[in-house]
Amino acid sequence: MSSYKQISVEETKEMISSDIYLLDIRDKSSYSSSHISGAIHVSNESIDEFVANADKDKKTIIYCYKGISSRDAAQYFFDIGFKDVFSMQGVMKCGLILMSSLKEIYRTLYST
């Protein structure tokens, strides 16, 4: 029996230009402070509305903080009929590390 698939940050970047759902399942305040461009925040409160209006044939990539909760969510979406579901591995953890590194590089290059 098929299920959802794991996807890396790099693979996701290649797919973002296509017509996909990119779902952020972190808490609302984390989503509000930072999220991947084009991501839709889906919570326990909004999931029913999203599912009711979604095209279940469209690729759906789900991310969280570390890629753990997104696996459960991806399985749920697959189980309710979404055809092409992915769980992104470690996206926000990687993103925060990258942002931290970029800030340090910026400080080093542009400090007076």
64 is catalytic: yes
Alpha helices in 28-80 (DSSP H): 28-33, 47-53, 69-79
Q: Where are the beta strands (DSSP E) in the chain?
A: 5-7, 20-24, 40-41, 59-63, 85-88
Q: What is the CA radius of gyration of the chain?
A: 15
Among candidate residues 22, 25, 64, 92, the one labeled active-site is 64
The residue length of the chain stands at 112
Report the catalytic residues: 64
